[in-house]
């Protein structure tokens, strides 16, 4: 009987490994660029043709390789980054498995040109087979060209997305690498057109501006927090700058870009009630820690990571985001740009305003500015919405005088310097939310007995769920008893329920208990507070008196967070006198 088990060839093993490591064009770019970063490059250029489906080139000015290392680099599990087993617990490089280059070479045509500064090496490999090894120019650094990706594995080729999608994935990854390494100059070119370019200034805020533009960069808040195990720094956006997906939440650990569900959740928790649940912030957080308390070896692409002290890190991030947002006056301000005279500058230099007095600096002087000075805008006279950064306590001293109501929804107020618009429903929702949440947190519950008890009839399955979970309502001060088949009767409730809406509010609470029950009491209380606050608040298109407006405003400015309703929508925006006069052409400068 013939032996059935055989040792596969190295070429076949590399093709199988490529199925794990090389999923799309961005996977090739990721592996090659990360090698360039590990090679201590200060400039990395990526060139594509047809979004990389035909041609990918990565050129760096790193330390390069001699001939022996260049040939060995295409052998599976060959690496310069792990020398002994214990090194696996002290990984400080982006790559370490020794799988990327042989995997890429097994499914494409590769040309490697590299040099340490002496005689260079030129290696050509097709489908994992070495075609030639020759001398090359002595330019220090490495250039790798990958052509005809998946040419010998057509089943993989058909799973590539459209050119636009592939280019978008490459661009997004390059953006995040540039944020992780602002000290490196990155360039991305597709079909001879520059898609992305950063200066390598080592100024993170400037890099954010180069990638995302003025509106984002001018609305960032500096983040800096530490505990015994982690140092975290970077920028978080004000709640006026939100995106429809998580792609702009960038987390970097020891220089490695990671996608970690727990970290994203910690960031979102910090923005809780400052934004709608379906929107996500722009955040760049760089996390430094001892390599021994993280494990980067849990996924072939090395994009996920495991923390031995995840909870401590989550608390640090969430609490600091909450603190930064709480201390800031986050009233959206309609800002009308002043028209300025542009003077002649050298090519590639751009004038950047750094204050409302029309002071300007050249972009190559931006590195000398601190975070508070960086206020640059490449647009002319276009109005944008921004958030003013002022001490949180100042809003409590604002004297707002209501003068009317528009569309039955928006209260118009003024003081000596500004005009304000307040969404009456969002404002009262915030007031009620904080009142209810405070009542739910108190040890002693204030209740009222009902002269006419409220009955609620349920179907059998809901009745079973409710009885299993009704203890939480008992603890909140409700007195609930069975009342016939699948029916409950409420004889007492807490005093924070609004008069006249008791039955509707209790029915909503019962529905929450049955369908949205969360074992975490803090989160459940918050869900109750948000739901009840919405039900109890004055609706849009409802006329209220000046006295009611004054009462609402007096309560709003005393809220812990007066800027957003509990669902994250703004409660108040402002126009300065100058901005109003500018719009009405009363001032022309």
Helices marked H in 191-336: 204-212, 214-217, 261-270, 310-326
Q: What is the mean pLDDT of each run of 10 residues along the chain (589 residues)?
A: 55 50 83 91 95 93 90 68 44 53 87 91 91 90 92 72 86 93 95 93 94 89 93 92 87 88 91 84 92 68 72 93 82 54 38 34 39 38 43 67 88 87 91 87 83 87 85 86 88 82 81 72 79 77 85 87 85 85 78
Q: What is the pLDDT of residue 347?
A: 36
pLDDT of 304 reads 67
To the question of pTM greater than 0.75 for the whole model, the response is: no
Architecture of the domain whose range is 204-326: 2-Layer Sandwich (3.30)
Report the pLDDT value the prediction gives residue 475, as an integer from 0 to 100.
83
Burial class for 522, CB neighbours closer than 10 Å (0-12, 13-18, 19+) = exposed
Q: For the chain, what are the domain ranges? A: 10-197, 204-326, 337-364+375-382, 391-589
Q: Please list, in sequence order, all residues whose beta carbon lies within 8 angstroms of the beta carbon of residue 115, skipping any fewer than 6 positions away.
A: 64, 65, 121, 136, 137, 138, 139, 140, 141, 142
Residue 517 pLDDT: 64
Top CATH class of 391-589 equals alpha beta
Cα–Cα distance measured from residue 351 to residue 349, given in angstroms and rounded to the nearest whole number: 7
Residue 83: predicted pLDDT = 46
Task: Give the end-to-end CA distance of the chain in Å, rounded to a whole number.
Answer: 94
Neighbours of 306 (CB within 10 A): 14
Contact 58, 46 (CB under 8 A): yes
Q: What CA–CA distance (Å, rounded) separates 82 from 74?
A: 16
Selected from 1.10.357.10, 1.10.3720.10, 3.30.450.40, 3.30.565.10, the CATH number assigned to the domain covering 10-197 reads 3.30.565.10
Instruction: Copy the structure tokens of residue 438.
Output: 């405070």
Residues 6+ apart with CB under 8 A from 418: 574, 575, 576, 577
Rounded to an integer, what distance in angstroms lies between the CA atom of residue 373 and that of residue 353?
A: 10
């Amino acid at each position: 009987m013939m032996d059935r088990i055989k040792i596969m060839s190295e070429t076949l093993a590399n093709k199988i490994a490529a199925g794990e490591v090389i999923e799309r064009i961005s996977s090739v770019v990721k592996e090659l660029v990360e090698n360039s970063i590990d090679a201590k490059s200060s400039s990395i250029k990526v060139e594509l043709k047809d979004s990389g489906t035909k041609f990918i080139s990565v050129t760096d000015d790193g330390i390069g390789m001699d001939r022996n290392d260049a040939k060995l680099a295409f052998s599976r599990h060959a690496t310069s980054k792990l020398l002994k087993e214990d090194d696996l617990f002290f990984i400080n490089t982006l790559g370490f498995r020794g799988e990327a280059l042989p995997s890429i070479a097994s499914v494409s045509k590769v040309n490697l040109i590299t040099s340490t500064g002496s005689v260079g090496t030129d290696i050509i490999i097709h489908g994992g087979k070495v075609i030639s090894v020759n001398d090359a120019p002595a330019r220090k650094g490495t250039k790798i060209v990958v052509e005809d990706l998946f040419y010998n594995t057509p089943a993989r080729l058909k799973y590539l997305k459209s050119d636009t999608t592939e280019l978008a994935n490459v661009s997004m990854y390059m953006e995040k690498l540039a944020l992780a390494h602002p000290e490196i100059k990155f360039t991305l070119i597709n079909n001879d057109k520059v898609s992305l370019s950063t200066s390598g200034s080592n100024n993170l805020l400037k890099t954010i501006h180069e990638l995302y533009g003025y509106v984002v960069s001018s609305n960032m808040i500096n983040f800096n927090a530490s505990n015994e195990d982690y140092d975290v720094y970077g920028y978080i956006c004000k709640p006026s700058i939100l995106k429809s997906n998580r792609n702009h939440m960038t987390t970097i650990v020891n220089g490695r870009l990671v996608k970690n569900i727990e970290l994203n959740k910690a960031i979102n928790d910090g923005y809780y009630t400052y934004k709608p649940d379906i929107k996500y912030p722009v955040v760049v957080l760089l996390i430094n820690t001892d390599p021994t308390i993280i494990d980067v070896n849990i996924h072939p692409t090395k994009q996920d990571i495991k923390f031995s002290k995840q909870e401590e890190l989550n608390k640090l991030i969430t609490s600091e985001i909450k603190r930064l947002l709480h201390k800031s006056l986050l009233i959206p301000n309609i800002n009308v740009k002043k028209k300025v005279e542009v003077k002649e500058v050298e090519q590639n230099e751009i004038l950047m305003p750094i204050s409302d007095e029309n002071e300007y600096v050249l972009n190559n002087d931006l590195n000398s500015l601190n975070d508070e000075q960086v206020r640059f805008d490449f647009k002319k006279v276009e109005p944008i919405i921004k958030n003013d950064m002022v001490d949180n306590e100042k809003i409590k001293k604002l004297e707002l005088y209501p003068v009317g109501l528009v569309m039955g929804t928006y209260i118009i107020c003024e003081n000596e310097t500004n005009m304000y618009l307040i969404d009456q429903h969002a404002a009262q929702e915030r007031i009620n939310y904080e009142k209810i949440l405070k009542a739910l947190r108190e040890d002693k519950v204030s209740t009222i007995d009902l002269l006419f008890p409220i009955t609620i009839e349920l179907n059998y399955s809901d009745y079973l769920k409710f009885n299993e979970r009704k203890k939480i309502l008992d603890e909140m001060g409700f007195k609930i008893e069975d009342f016939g088949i699948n029916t409950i009767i409420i004889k007492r409730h807490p005093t924070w329920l609004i008069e006249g809406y008791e039955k509707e509010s209790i029915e909503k609470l019962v529905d929450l208990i049955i369908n949205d029950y969360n074992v975490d009491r803090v989160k459940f209380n918050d869900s109750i507070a948000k739901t009840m606050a919405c039900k109890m608040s004055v609706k849009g298109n409802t006329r209220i008196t000046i006295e009611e407006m004054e009462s609402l405003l007096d309560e709003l400015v005393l809220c812990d967070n007066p800027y957003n309703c509990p669902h994250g929508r703004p409660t108040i925006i402002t126009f300065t006198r100058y901005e109003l006069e500018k719009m009405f052409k009363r001032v022309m400068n």
